[in-house]
Structure 1
């Protein structure tokens, strides 16, 4: 079968597609992949910079959607079931995922949408609901609101009953964030002043921040009393230093949300999140925005699009020949 391989950690240009032996189902769920989601961790792995870095050579990819070919004895899954799954090795025509990381795919979503349903949406739900305690009626500010991470946060926040303000860098990306469901969208140039205007000077209850860098300090200043800054990652490349006096005097919280590490030993949390995301999909709130779609052979170009920040929505790979 075809698979996207990393043989040396030199980034997207060094990624290749090769024929490899088909996997054995073993104790996991064997899945015929229809579409795979391209994420920032995949990009980091191609460069040898991810926090849990496999030794090359290995098959890249962490999430995919498709149909079950085989499942362990006693499993609720059956051959032919449509699923979304999370496990290393997803950029291939077939891969094996643990049953606890394999979830039924709602009928309302396509395979391409399912390829973007796990990492971004589970992280958004975990960060906003479990870690951030988001309540209906609160105001959420989402940085990087046009990418796969940001559009997921917009939709999950709406599904939890919040008002959402997105921050983007261009007018084109503003249209994407609005299509994802943001109530208001502001451009990054003077974003803090615009957010203050939109909220009548009140500020926001929650900031969802996958960007980091220089925005973090201003995000703290925008929080209302008892507001929460949810730290998702540092796409800007800079890990900011925080002015803890602001945290103290304004009675605000800075909260980390590392979904993957948390659910590794608590699969019941991931299952509960999947159930709630399925509810949101049935209600029409959650519908992943599929961005550029590449054939499996063009995996290097898909990773480069993510690396150059040219992509809006979720970048996916399709396995069909």
Structure 2
């Protein structure tokens, strides 16, 4: 353990992070000290840096909502011990060491690499708990995934296919659609070359479930392609605004609209969160999930990582190594 560590730091809202040297956290009873190996970027990190996230933070603060590393001190917490490899789900993971509650860590599979583990929880956890829970996805269902090559959308494609759904991927560009196809999509629509997404989805047979991390016009179009009894999962608004959904159509077609915020399950239903992660680790160990980081950058290039995410130039998760 060292007296000082390096960390990314948001020093003013609206600015990219900078690298600073800060005091290392001291071990505490009842808390877990983790030496971080890698941390992943999420769209929520961009929102938080702009002051637009639902759980705001006043600068200066360390970004990052998830990561993976090795326990330095378990603080006497049952089931945890020094040297254990764990995933971490807590604010401030983009530092060389973090001190967190024991509920924020979970042992990870031996076969999972740091780059895979760092970005596994939020993206895979969101997709699995949303699809298997609120979405009620069943084998043979038609699942439409918007933003299908993004960090969260790509996991929805992979998990949906693993659950036996017929996955239709919507993404911008042939390269991104090919990534989605390799993840398990049965069909794809290039949103950059599709003047009427709703009509295109209906021509393919419509949707039983729509997984929407984009919002705006694509979300509205996909909602219009839902079959009677369909489910619409509002995951995020990377398109800049929530979709405007006609509730009269939801009523007439018996469509369910579900908002889903993975981080909220820490207090809403932590058992469901933990159970979902255990199920995902089982799928990984069975070889049915193959998480791949899109861009892996050292801590010194964290500002570049923010730029890749902001400009939508990343495919999959952006991972920062520590």
TM-score, length of structure 1 as denominator length: 0.93
1:42 paired to 2:45: yes
> Residue in 2 aligned with 1:75?
78
With 134-143 and 188-197 compared, the bigger mean Cα shift is at 188-197
Aligned pairs for 1:196-235 (under 5 A) are 196-199=202-205, 203-235=206-238
> Residue in 2 aligned with 1:293?
296
Displacement after TM superposition at 1:165 (Å): 1.2
Contact persistence 1:62–1:86 (CA under 8 A): yes
Match of 2:20 among 2, 18, 21: 18
1:237 paired to 2:237: no
1:90 paired to 2:93: yes
Q: What secondary structure does 1:58 align onto?
A: coil
Q: What secondary structure does 1:4 align onto?
A: strand
- Structure 1, residues 113-172: CA drift from partner, whole Å, max 9, x if none? 101111111111121111111112211110000011111111222232222111001111
- Structure 1, residues 69-121: CA drift from partner, whole Å, max 9, x if none? 11132421222221111111100111123221211212332110101111111
Match of 1:140 among 139, 143, 150: 143
Structure 1 runs of 4+ aligned residues shifted over 4 Å read none
Displacement after TM superposition at 1:280 (Å): 1.1
Paired with 1:265 and 1:98, the residues of 2 have a C-alpha distance of 17
Displacement after TM superposition at 1:40 (Å): 0.8
Paired with 2:198 and 2:166, the residues of 1 have a C-alpha distance of 17
Q: What secondary structure does 1:72 align onto?
A: coil
With 270-279 and 69-78 compared, the bigger mean Cα shift is at 69-78
Paired with 2:36 and 2:314, the residues of 1 have a C-alpha distance of 22
With 244-253 and 260-269 compared, the bigger mean Cα shift is at 260-269
Paired with 1:11 and 1:134, the residues of 2 have a C-alpha distance of 39
Cα root mean square deviation, aligned:
1.5
Paired with 2:267 and 2:290, the residues of 1 have a C-alpha distance of 25
Q: What secondary structure does 1:214 align onto?
A: helix
> Residue in 1 aligned with 2:201?
195
Displacement after TM superposition at 1:183 (Å): 2.1
Contact persistence 1:32–1:66 (CA under 8 A): yes
1:164 paired to 2:167: yes
> Residue in 1 aligned with 2:13?
9
Q: What secondary structure does 1:147 align onto?
A: coil
Q: What secondary structure does 2:216 align onto?
A: coil
Aligned pairs for 1:238-317 (under 5 A) are 238-317=241-320
Q: What secondary structure does 1:118 align onto?
A: helix
Aligned pairs for 1:50-65 (under 5 A) are 50-65=53-68
Q: Provide structure 2 residue ranges, at least 5 long, that are not aligned to the other structure.
A: none
Q: What secondary structure does 2:95 align onto?
A: coil
Q: What secondary structure does 1:59 align onto?
A: coil
Q: What secondary structure does 2:131 align onto?
A: helix
> Residue in 2 aligned with 1:152?
155
